[in-house]
Structure 1
Amino acid sequence: MTVQISPEIPSKFSRRAREVINQLQTEHASHFTPRAVYDGGAILYSTHRDIPTQVFTVQFSPRLLHQVRFTPVKQVDPNALRSAVANKGRIDISVVTLLQLIVRQAPSIRHVNAVRARSFYSNKGERDIGGGLVAWHGFFQSIRPTMNKIVINIDTTTAPMYKPGPLIQVAVEFLTDGGNTQPKNIRYLEALTPDSVDWRKLERFLKGVRITTTLPSASKWKRGTGKSIKGLVSQAGLYEFNKDGRPMTVQQYLREQYNTRTNYPRMFGIKLNKDAVIPAEYCEILLGQFFKKNLVESQRTAMVKMSTRKPIDRLNTIQGAVAGQDQLFDYASSDFMQAVGMQVSTTPITIQGQVIPSPEIQFKKGTPSLRIREGKWNVRGDIQLALPGRIFSWAVIYFDQNASRPVLEGFITKLHGNLLQRGIAINPAYVPGPNFPIQIGNPHQVSQSLESLLAQASSSDKNSGRSIPPTIIVVILPSSAAQIKKQVKYWGTVTKSVATQCVKAGKYEKANDQYLNNVALKINAKIGGVNCYVPLTEKLLTKTIVVGCDVSHPAPSVDNRPSIASLVASVDDKATVYTAQIQVQEPHVEIIQNLRDMVWEAIKDYGQKYNFKQTLDHLIVFRDGVSEGEYDQVSQQEIGQIEVALKRLAAEAKMPQLPKLTFIIVTKRHHVRFFPQSPQGADSSGNCLPGLVVDKELNQGRDFYLQSHSGIIGTSRPSHYIVLRNDMNWSIQQIQELSYYLCHVYASATRAVSFPAPVYYADLVCAKAEYHIDPSQCDQLDNASTAVSGGEFPLKEWQRAVRPSGIRRSLYFL
């Protein structure tokens, strides 16, 4: 039945709605025994058919009450529910949704302070991650129908939360740690003005956060969800309004009404609506509020450390929550589950998998083959790259003002030797020495410094007289230099079409062979070389383009930035050399809006590589980032766009038939984890062996899980592959093997990665979209987008601002 709560509670306050329905069921137990299942929104499921249609009143305080009305809609067939639990016959998705609600209901009520989607969290063992945030541990649970049973997928999870407590303290911590370097204090907050950068940062950080207050007038809304911050007000104590026809400041009102003195009248305050303004000193942030914006690097690092657990520790934590003394999931005691006769085994299921043998990794022909152990290999001194590039000229610029020139020159000499050792040919005129082009850069004039180096390091073509820029520029950065790097990458990627390789202070000074090898691998890939390949892929990929595509979105609460769509496409039969494209589209739109044209550009790049003398027989697309509910949309819209591009190719090339299409979704954001049954089935980190495939007991016929990488720290996450199109009629084993092989050709790694290289590359292109935007325009674009918030998004302005790479036919994004 539908639920109507008045006054209406916005969907983002589902916690308050749950409190209302929970109290209602307690006060009117005769109508709600056993208790009904509530989704936190507009739907309630009950085994009672005679719940009155009267208006129920739920009162928390004399001034805080809600009225609730129920309207019957339809009846769920009890047999369908029992059949689903017993897994008999076809499973209705609506029944699975109901089962999901039933298992979530008890923990959602018990942990009402922090429930999000299929997870619940606790502040027990919380960790401060800086910037006014803390991290909470939690648990995820989800019903999953499989081929022969229904299982509950349970996993640990971690979420960043706003730090509860005094607003002033949180504001000081945010402005100190949230991407700034100088400590801030209360005096700094008093001096903040609306035209300052930190004011805008703080307002974005706090907007929408629920607060309570220490003012006695706020007793009517201190309970529950509090009030949401709509914005900030400058000098809140001096803020003037009309009171009974006469002007009055906030501090005068507080003194007269409550005999309360404002300690910081010139500090900012918060705006609750058009009329209500409260000084920050009287505000406290409520417990249990999720932070949904982007974390800074130090916060991400802290989150990773907190969430990283060895496989055995993770499994023990889950088993303790399910069957231990705490019984956090309440499976045994939940009256919601008992009402439908639902029971859950607390023993983890045992499944069968298989391990794909590691493939041979080919470097330069004639060099010794490398031994792969647990998905890893070591590029020794006698190993040369499969196809080394050529460096006609190169140069170095350093923006690290603390760099030691002798140490820097020593690094350059070692890097030069390593490049030669890997087989990369370097013009003898550019051996490090007195005449080598190395220059100090001005961090405040990045582009001008790079232009100066370019003029010094460019050479002249003997035949045409045309100026030839360096093949690669090595850029030495301070240890923390995000803004400098953005300017360097925009200059090289867009403005001058010159490959750049950045190196951070703190790493190059003690560069060992492994570090030098890693830099050399990136450089070779950026100048058009091939580091290694898997020979087994050549037969599978003859006359084939392998595509990786992805869409990245701004944080859920951010609507002034676009979503980024990327596509990378191979132009060789080893799937090692790729071209890259990037486009922007409306915020939070998952379907790639212009995929047809992006695929067509990829086909043209492939043709140019082979001088249009080789036909295209097969297109393999690995699509990243699609959720389960979007599979149908992707099938209809994105595959439809690809077919249009293939039909155009067939028509223009007068091909007798269309190239065949294989379309595979690769999902990384899920909570399925595998734990080895014995040490013999584990790698040195305690995870399952790389190459593990599970394609039966957790699957539905067209999908499989592949754990392609060796564990480093924590518990490895397998990738989930869903085959939506298979024109080649490949066996599932062939698709598994190809996917696994492509995990071994990620250019800057000497180990199998967690998903195929083209997917990794597409993800990188999205992540580095900011390198395609002039850094001087970013604030202007953000402000323009914010100004039209609620109206039409200025997509055309963003499309003009995001520039294509002039070196997109190389792996410039590594």
Structure 2
Amino acid sequence: MLQLRELLSGKHVDNPPQALKIIDIVLRELASQRYISVGRFFYSPNIKKPQTLGNGLQSWRGFYQSIKPTQMGLSLNIDMSTTAFIEPLPVVEFVAQVLGKDVSSRPLSDADRIKVKKALRGVKVEVTHRGNIRRKYRISGLTSQPTRELIFPVDEEKNMKSVIEYFQEVYGFTIQYPHLPCLLVGSQKKVNYLPMEACKILEGQRYTKRLDEKQITSLLKSSCQRPREQEMDILQTIRQNGYKQDPIAKEFGINIDDKLASVEARVLPAPWLKYHDAGKEKECHPQLGQWNMLNKKVINGSTVNHWACINFSCNVQENAARGFCHQLAQT
């Protein structure tokens, strides 16, 4: 605690990482109660309106925060981030999006069932057929049979009852899509059948599987911002987080300014680029960090047979990095 007080007052301490870690934990506590935590990132559909990525996925805006020692003292570093979450839809609607077709009247083919099973396995759902009782389950698989063919023992004497009859008699719930398979939930010893139409996907589940090219493109579009837009999002996040009103931070004597830090900067002059004498333009002076290769020839051209992209940023999600590499290869 002595090191923490000295660090907050601007004094030199022998072990600053330990004190910085304590401050970081204090400032993350309130955010961890408000947002979905993914590693060192926090996400919420309330930070910015989620954007549809297709196939039952949407992009959520979030932020990364950490305490950094700077020449001005301790600074709170905040950067924005975007990643994919599973859209909290009724399961039947989610299945329709995954397959790209209406499923309300026709049974699923074997190929469709395999695709849906892959998309739903491990996803958490809540039941909607029991009024205010919203029990939650994790999907382990799908039945190979449609709901109308499913029966199970209801007592120790092994008396059988169909899923359709059970839901009608016990819950007064009429199954509208008996041609669809049921969700499998529970343990291997005691598997439960849940009709798709009686379930809704829980909000706040990050999508960890690989995105397709279309989804990557949509994610990149929703995450790319001009500096001014990025600045406005950071300021809005600071206001939403309410660091000045954080009761936990106040107990530790931590006060966060809600304004961005200003630093002096300068623009380095762009160097002249030398090209081959055989080209129409032998020299080029880049403007605003860019230039055109039209009418220019490089001095020593070569073929790139093997190349790689290395992501050193902890703020760039893997899917976004993969999307950049793919677009770079196509350029």
- Give the TM-score normalised by structure 1: 0.36
| Correspondence for 1:670 | 315
Give the residue type in structure 1 aligned to 2:152: F
Counterpart of 2:216 (choices 300, 308, 331) is 300
Give the residue type in structure 2 aligned to 1:345: D
| Correspondence for 1:202 | 116
| Correspondence for 1:547 | none
**Where in structure 2 are the equivalents of 1:318-717 lying within 5 Å?**
318-322=234-238, 327-365=239-277, 367=279, 368-381=282-295, 383-387=296-300, 529-530=301-302, 580=306, 624-625=310-311, 667-670=312-315
Q: Residue 169 and residue 333 in structure 1: after superposition, are their counterparts in 2 closer, same or farther (change >3 A)?
A: same
2:149 counterpart of 1:238? yes
C-alpha contact (below 8 Å) 2:151/2:162 kept by paired residues: yes
SS of 1:216's partner is coil
Give the residue type in structure 1 aligned to 2:27: V
C-alpha contact (below 8 Å) 1:115/1:121 kept by paired residues: no
C-alpha contact (below 8 Å) 2:142/2:184 kept by paired residues: yes
Counterpart of 1:84 (choices 7, 16, 19) is 7
Q: Residue 154 and residue 201 in structure 1: after superposition, are their counterparts in 2 closer, same or farther (change >3 A)?
A: same
**Where in structure 2 are the equivalents of 1:111-122 lying within 5 Å?**
111-112=34-35, 114-117=36-39, 118-122=41-45
Give the residue type in structure 1 aligned to 2:200: E
Deviation track 1:687-746 (CA, whole Å, cap 9, x = no partner) reads xxxxxxxxxxxxxxxxxxxxxxxxxxxxxxxxxxxxxxxxxxxxxxxxxxxxxxxxxxxx
Q: Residue 289 and residue 813 in structure 1: after superposition, are their counterparts in 2 closer, same or farther (change >3 A)?
A: closer
| Correspondence for 2:96 | 172
Q: Residue 252 and residue 363 in structure 1: after superposition, are their counterparts in 2 closer, same or farther (change >3 A)?
A: same
Give the residue type in structure 2 aligned to 1:347: K
Q: Residue 813 and residue 300 in structure 1: after superposition, are their counterparts in 2 closer, same or farther (change >3 A)?
A: closer
Give the residue type in structure 2 aligned to 1:80: Q
C-alpha contact (below 8 Å) 1:107/1:330 kept by paired residues: no
**Alpha-carbon distance, 1:581 to partner:** 8.0
Deviation track 1:36-73 (CA, whole Å, cap 9, x = no partner) reads xxxxxxxxxxxxxxxxxxxxxxxxxxxxxxxxxxxxxx
Cα distance in 1 for residues equivalent to 2:65 and 2:277? 50
C-alpha contact (below 8 Å) 1:163/1:287 kept by paired residues: yes
Q: Residue 218 and residue 334 in structure 1: after superposition, are their counterparts in 2 closer, same or farther (change >3 A)?
A: closer
Cα distance in 1 for residues equivalent to 2:6 and 2:305? 50
**Alpha-carbon distance, 1:166 to partner:** 0.9
Deviation track 1:352-409 (CA, whole Å, cap 9, x = no partner) reads 445444333333235421232122222334x33434xxxxxxxxxxxxxxxxxxxxxx
C-alpha contact (below 8 Å) 1:120/1:140 kept by paired residues: no
Counterpart of 1:162 (choices 83, 86, 91) is 86
**Alpha-carbon distance, 1:162 to partner:** 1.6
- Over the residues paired in the alignment, what is the CA RMSD in angstroms? 3.0
**Where in structure 2 are the equivalents of 1:83-162 lying within 5 Å?**
83-87=6-10, 88-109=12-33, 111-112=34-35, 114-117=36-39, 118-123=41-46, 125-146=49-70, 149-162=73-86
Cα distance in 2 for residues equivalent to 1:331 and 1:267? 49
Give the residue type in structure 2 aligned to 1:241: F
Deviation track 1:66-93 (CA, whole Å, cap 9, x = no partner) reads xxxxxxxxxxxx1122233335323443
| Correspondence for 1:281 | 197
Cα distance in 2 for residues equivalent to 1:94 and 1:233? 52
Counterpart of 1:247 (choices 155, 160, 163) is 160
2:108 counterpart of 1:191? yes
Cα distance in 2 for residues equivalent to 1:127 and 1:140? 20
SS of 1:125's partner is coil
Give the residue type in structure 1 aligned to 2:205: Q
Cα distance in 2 for residues equivalent to 1:115 and 1:670? 14
C-alpha contact (below 8 Å) 2:45/2:61 kept by paired residues: yes
SS of 1:624's partner is coil
**Alpha-carbon distance, 1:241 to partner:** 2.2
C-alpha contact (below 8 Å) 1:331/1:344 kept by paired residues: yes
SS of 1:115's partner is strand
Deviation track 1:306-354 (CA, whole Å, cap 9, x = no partner) reads 22332123212322332xxxx3112111110011111112221223445
Deviation track 1:79-127 (CA, whole Å, cap 9, x = no partner) reads 1222333353234434323222211222332x24x33333232345222
Cα distance in 2 for residues equivalent to 1:358 and 1:231? 58
Cα distance in 1 for residues equivalent to 2:60 and 2:227? 20
Deviation track 1:227-282 (CA, whole Å, cap 9, x = no partner) reads 21111223234223222122333223223323332222220221112311101111
Cα distance in 2 for residues equivalent to 1:347 and 1:119? 21
Q: Residue 201 and residue 143 in structure 1: after superposition, are their counterparts in 2 closer, same or farther (change >3 A)?
A: farther
Q: Residue 161 and residue 348 in structure 1: after superposition, are their counterparts in 2 closer, same or farther (change >3 A)?
A: same
Q: Residue 147 and residue 89 in structure 1: after superposition, are their counterparts in 2 closer, same or farther (change >3 A)?
A: farther
SS of 1:120's partner is strand
C-alpha contact (below 8 Å) 2:278/2:297 kept by paired residues: no
C-alpha contact (below 8 Å) 2:64/2:315 kept by paired residues: no
2:135 counterpart of 1:211? no
**Where in structure 2 are the equivalents of 1:766-777 lying within 5 Å?**
none
Cα distance in 1 for residues equivalent to 2:68 and 2:246? 20
Give the residue type in structure 1 aligned to 2:176: N
Q: Residue 321 and residue 385 in structure 1: after superposition, are their counterparts in 2 closer, same or farther (change >3 A)?
A: closer
SS of 2:59's partner is strand
Deviation track 1:654-676 (CA, whole Å, cap 9, x = no partner) reads xxxxxxxxxxxxx23438xxxxx
C-alpha contact (below 8 Å) 1:86/1:149 kept by paired residues: no
Cα distance in 2 for residues equivalent to 1:152 and 1:132? 35
Larger radius of gyration: 1
Aligned residue-pair number: 313
Give the residue type in structure 1 aligned to 2:141: G
| Correspondence for 1:310 | 226
- Give the TM-score normalised by structure 2: 0.82
Cα distance in 1 for residues equivalent to 2:99 and 2:244? 46
Cα distance in 2 for residues equivalent to 1:216 and 1:276? 16
List alignment gaps of at least 5 residues for structure 2. Answer: none
C-alpha contact (below 8 Å) 2:79/2:234 kept by paired residues: yes
Q: Residue 119 and residue 84 in structure 1: after superposition, are their counterparts in 2 closer, same or farther (change >3 A)?
A: farther
Cα distance in 1 for residues equivalent to 2:37 and 2:96? 28
C-alpha contact (below 8 Å) 2:275/2:283 kept by paired residues: yes
Q: Residue 580 and residue 267 in structure 1: after superposition, are their counterparts in 2 closer, same or farther (change >3 A)?
A: same
**Alpha-carbon distance, 1:152 to partner:** 1.0
C-alpha contact (below 8 Å) 2:50/2:60 kept by paired residues: yes
Cα distance in 2 for residues equivalent to 1:287 and 1:270? 18
**Alpha-carbon distance, 1:289 to partner:** 1.9
